[in-house]
Amino acid sequence: MATTTITKPPMLQQAVQLGLDIATGRHSLSKLVPTALLLADALLCGLIIWKIPYTEIDWTAYMEQVSQFVSGERDYTAIKGGTGPLVYPAAHVYIYTGLYYLTDRGRDIFLAQQLFAGLYMVTLAVVVACYWKAKAPPYVLPMLILSKRLHSIFVLRCFNDCFAVLFLWLAILCLQRRSWQLGALFYTWGLGIKMSLLLVLPAVGIILFLGAGLATSLQLAVMMGLVQLLIAIPFLAHNPWGYLGRAFEFSRQFFFKWTVNWRFVGEEVFLSKQFALGLFGLHVAVLLAFITNRWLQPARKPFMGVAIPVMFGKSPFRAKEQQAVSRDITPQYILTTVLTAKVIGLLFARSLHYQFYSYLAWSTPFLLWRSGIHPVLQYGLWAAQEWAWNVFPSTPVTSCVVVGVLATTVALVWWGAREEWQPRTAAPKSEAAKQ
């Protein structure tokens, strides 16, 4: 009787297969990848602080502004630092007041760097938790810890964007866990640090509306507004228009020499009103396209079928319909929608500075994965983006790459992730259909 011999694949082939299984989440060792990456990045942060000199940009100005607040100044238009007037909302003042006392009035830079390294690690852990909740494969995660520019923003510059980013990701994680109230609270606190978070407000509003229902989302909108009011009371009592004009300065003048994204258009075009209006119009148009053709798809109704009842203060859904819609607001839907809104906003931003990479660096890997392109292309686009953001000062070529990768990401998500926003659960039959 003939016997069959089972030939094992060569060891190299087995090793490659094991690596692929871990990278794609098919092996039990995949669960160890996030912890290993976090430990590696913690070591990297320590090495950066030890080996690379601190770079002064805004920290001294923050401390000068806070010292005036500590001394009793409450008129926002009178608070100034070495880089100019205070132009951030009140939560920024409160956070940096805490840092002011912790770091001996801002003089202990080494301690400040350690605190920001801790802030970086906490934020990274939250980001990884959001990715894991959205079922992102392990091979995407290394892109989260390999950014030279991102480490610089946190550990070597101590920008306030770092705190805004933390609270945005905390908001996303809470929304993924369907903790609507806490998610809204974290979001509005982050917005109170820097108004850059306004870019994702449309996405947050739609998620709350579809996930929690019209009544609850309106209550949460009121709560978010009240939080902004409460944190601003000390300043509103002295000069309300001065506070609003400085904390949410929409008419801010942008300087061509600092732009990372639009240097290739030339200074004359960059400073023109027509260019600003064109970017605004494109931003609104692309947002509306995503809202009407992607983000509202779980509603199972045409846009006007949703918008008209809402304008009259009525929910467009019956109770069972609302339950079905809410079930479709999954952790993956939430992360894809918020990050898409953010990248759209950055694509059409009038001017991006280097610290704005803190909003982008942890968004691109997930969106490229959701687009469905090959992992090699994912890493290629990510590497091009990382290179462009690390060239200082920016050049026409690097700014073109910055805008090009942003536009490519938006286009890829529009096409490749379109199934993300499709209804997953069957909608209940209407009472009329049952009769």
Domain range annotation of the chain: 31-422
Residues 317-344 pLDDT 10s: 998 999 999 999 999 999 999 999 999 9
Section 167-186 average pLDDT: 98
**Percent of the chain's residues with pLDDT above 90:** 83
**Per-residue pLDDT tens digits for 126-142:** 999 999 999 999 999 99
Is residue 235 predicted with pLDDT exceeding 60?
A: yes
CB 116 within 8 A of CB 158: yes
Local confidence band at 27 (pLDDT 50, 70, 90 cut-offs): confident
| Whether residue 31 has pLDDT greater than 90 | no
Band of pLDDT at residue 434, cut at 50, 70 and 90: very low
The span from the CA of 277 to the CA of 259, in Å, is 17
Nearest partner of 205 among 253, 171, 244, 166, judged by Cα: 171
pLDDT for residue 4: 57
- State the Cα angle at 186 between 77 and 290, rounded to 5°: 95
How far apart, in Å, are the Cα atoms of 333 and each of 38, 78, 171, 206, 308? 25, 44, 14, 11, 24
Q: Which residues contact 394 (CB under 8 A, 6 or more apart)?
A: 259, 260, 261, 263, 388, 402
The radius of gyration of the chain's CA atoms, rounded to the nearest angstrom, is: 24
What does the pLDDT read at residue 2? Answer: 53
Residue 388 to residues 168, 223, 260, 355, 405: CA-CA distances in angstroms?
Answer: 25, 40, 9, 13, 10
pLDDT of 249 over the 80 cut: no
Tell whether the model's pLDDT for residue 116 goes beyond 50.
yes
Overall average pLDDT of the 399-416 stretch: 97
**pLDDT higher than threshold 70 for residue 432:** no
Does residue 22 register a pLDDT over 60?
yes
The one-letter amino acid at 55? T
Across the chain, mean pLDDT equals: 92
Taking the C-alpha atoms of residue 81 and residue 194, their distance in angstroms, rounded to an integer, is 17
Condensed to tens digits (0 to 9), the pLDDT of residues 351-377 reads 999 999 999 999 999 999 999 999 999
Residues in CB range of 412: below 8 A, 6 or more apart: 367, 368, 371, 372, 373
CA distance 293 to 105: 51
Here the tokens at position 168 are 């945005």
Kindly report, residue by residue over 183-225, the tens digit of the pLDDT: 999 999 999 999 999 999 999 999 999 999 999 999 999 999 9
Tell me, rounded to whole angstroms, the distance of Cα 426 from its chain centroid. 31
At residue 430 the predicted structure's pLDDT band, cuts being 50, 70 and 90, is very low
Q: Which two tokens stand for residue 348?
A: 């059409």
Higher pLDDT residue, 144 or 430?
A: 144
C-beta pairs of 233-240 under 8 Å, 24+ apart in sequence: 234/74, 234/90, 235/74, 235/75, 235/76, 235/90, 237/74, 238/74, 238/75, 239/74, 239/75, 239/76, 239/77
> In 52-158, which residue ranges form alpha helices assigned H by DSSP?
59-70, 90-102, 109-133, 148-151
